[in-house]
Amino acid sequence: MAKILVVDDDSDIRELIRVYLAREGLDVIEARNGQEALTFLETAQADLVILDIMMPLMDGWELCRQIRSQYNDLPILMVTAKGESTHKVKGFQLGTDDYVVKPFDPVELVMRVKALLKRYRIASSQKVQMGDIVIDRTTLAVRVQEQLIVLPLKEFELLYKLGSYPAQIFTRTQLIEQIWGMDYEGDERTVDVHIKRLRERFEPITDQFQITTIRGLGYRLEVRL
């Protein structure tokens, strides 16, 4: 049973989310603020975190930042009353995987949680499959039908990262930190160069996925099956 950590200072919101997730067979743990959430994560495991932004002691922005720095592969869904595009951009820059604005449809929230859990399970595997395309981390190779393509390491890691989280937006900064490392001394244009090379390699031979530029944010991989 997947365990969902719900972080919100509003007990009614926590209860609403808990009821709808429990109906789907999901186990829910509640925290009232970011500090409580981090304390829980230090001693137990969660499969996904749903967090509010406006909370006492530690808000959702800081909680998101700390989760990303300590638990890089833990999916995050932000639920907040702030619907302005600038807040969405900030959320994605800090590392959230998805974003729902209050008042939200509980059924939609459940579907988004299920989609994130599915992405996470795909990402935890050593292979990512999109139709007849297989990205194999054990061999650092990509198979498109019967054609085997061996990529330079950074190109492979970039494609594997994007393919593991289809439809998720990654900022250039996130990709630099996760693939080139925190101590990388180059600039973000490196990501653009590698994306360009991946497009040049795969666009002529398959239309089952594309890497889309999200203006002002970064990139995401979109599957076309």
Q: What is the fold, at CATH topology level, of the domain defined by 125-223?
A: Arc Repressor Mutant, subunit A (1.10.10)
Band the pLDDT of 6: cuts 50, 70, 90: very high
pLDDT higher than threshold 80 for residue 170: yes
> Cα–Cα distances in Å, from 107 out to 26, 112, 156, 192?
14, 9, 36, 37
- CATH of 3-123 given 3.40.640.10, 3.40.50.2300, 3.20.20.70, 1.10.8.50: 3.40.50.2300
Tens of pLDDT, residues 171-188: 998 898 888 887 788 888
Domain ranges of the chain: 3-123, 125-223
Name the DSSP letter for residue 25: T
pTM of the complete model = 0.61
- Taking residues 14-27, report their average pLDDT: 92
Over the stretch 67-116, which tens digit does the pLDDT of each residue have? 988 887 799 999 887 666 677 788 888 889 998 988 889 999 999 999 88
CA-CA distances (angstroms) from residue 31 to 25, 94, 95, 151, 191?
20, 20, 20, 44, 37
Q: What is the per-residue pLDDT across 110-167, written as a single tens digit (0 to 9) for each?
A: 999 998 888 777 666 678 888 889 999 888 899 998 899 999 999 999 999 899 888 8
CA distance 213 to 195: 9
Task: Provide, rounded to the nearest whole percent, the portion of the chain with pLDDT above 90.
Answer: 51
Residue 224 pLDDT greater than 90, yes or no: no
Question: What was the pLDDT predicted at 123?
Answer: 63
